[in-house]
Chain A
Amino acid sequence: ETGVTQTPRHLVMGMTNKKSLKCEQHLGHNAMYWYKQSAKKPLELMFVYSLEERVENNSVPSRFSPECPNSSHLFLHLHTLQPEDSALYLCASSHNRVSGANVLTFGAGSRLTVL
């Protein structure tokens, strides 16, 4: 496989469920990201793992928990979500350059619906 692969592509869950989103990249990148995309809003950065350091957006609720076991795999664990968490969750990867541009390659996304 090549590029950035996300599973599942679609997920419907209740507010009491626990589920996980998975992302895998085969590009040799050393940074991985979770973004949230809601209708008519800009992409919102949730978490970044870069050179084994985790950076997070402080506004992300604790019901979202990321895990990055190695530079090729990224998970987003979901627990007791709310209906307003329904959105497209995009994984991305990039090289992490100290200077210069970090061009992102996105996965196809996991569309989450919380009932």
Chain B
Amino acid sequence: RKEVEQDPGPFNVPEGATVAFNCTYSNSASQSFFWYRQDCRKEPKLLMSVYSSGNEDGRFTAQLNRASQYISLLIRDSKLSDSATYLCVVNAVMDTGRRALTFGSGTRLQVQP
């Protein structure tokens, strides 16, 4: 089983649609969670951190379910500029005591006019 698993997509949605991505992680010791966004041929950039209580930033809502070990990202009122690959990232403390960031393969979103 992959440490961080995402549906690769692509998700093709019309402008204005609501779209949700899920991500599951295997390490129950994971402590921190993030969504990064990567545009085509660009570097990943932090979109938002994911907190236990859930958090919202404008049209974006992130939620964490520790019991089921999954994270979600909801995008409302999709814009053409939201087209990108969304990377789920999990920060876990390993047996060695070191923390390691593990990335999912990403979910590609294409918003169409």
How many chain B residues sit at the interface, stated as a range, is 20 to 34
The one of B42, B45, B91 that contacts A102, using a Cβ cutoff of 8 Å: B91
Q: A42-B4, A43-B87, A106-B44 are in contact. List 5 more A-B contacts (CB 8 A).
A: A41-B105, A101-B32, A104-B46, A104-B101, A109-B43
Cβ–Cβ contact B99 & A102, under 8 A: yes
Distance in angstroms from A12 CB to nearest chain B CB is 17
Cβ–Cβ contact B105 & A42, under 8 A: yes
Cβ–Cβ contact B43 & A101, under 8 A: no
Digitize A24-58: 1 where CB-to-B-CB distance is under 8 Å, 0 elsewhere: 00000000000000001111010000000001000
Tell me the B22-50 residues at the A interface (CB within 8 Å): 31-32, 34, 42-46, 49
Could you list 26 examples of A-B contacts with CB < 8 Å? Answer: A40-B105, A41-B105, A42-B2, A42-B102, A42-B104, A42-B105, A43-B44, A45-B100, A55-B98, A90-B44, A101-B31, A101-B34, A101-B49, A101-B91, A102-B32, A102-B91, A103-B34, A103-B49, A104-B44, A104-B101, A105-B46, A106-B43, A106-B45, A107-B43, A108-B43, A109-B43
Residues of B within 8 A of A107 (CB): 43
Q: Which 10 A-B pairs have the closest CB atoms?
A: A101-B32, A106-B43, A43-B103, A42-B103, A42-B105, A108-B43, A106-B44, A109-B43, A103-B46, A42-B104
Q: How far is the CA of A93 from the CA of B87 in the complex (A)?
A: 18
How many chain A residues sit at the interface, stated as a range, is 10 to 19
Q: How far is the CA of A41 from the CA of B103 in the complex (A)?
A: 10
Digitize B81-99: 1 where CB-to-A-CB distance is under 8 Å, 0 elsewhere: 0000001000100000011
Number of CB contacts from chain A to chain B under 8 A: 43
Digitize A96-115: 1 where CB-to-B-CB distance is under 8 Å, 0 elsewhere: 00001111111111000000
Using CB atoms and an 8 Å cutoff, list the residues of chain A in contact with chain B: 40-43, 45, 55, 90, 100-109
Residues of A within 8 A of B34 (CB): 101, 103
Residue of chain A at shortest CB distance from B88: A42
Q: How far is the CA of A65 from the CA of B29 in the complex (A)?
A: 31
Cβ–Cβ contact B42 & A108, under 8 A: yes
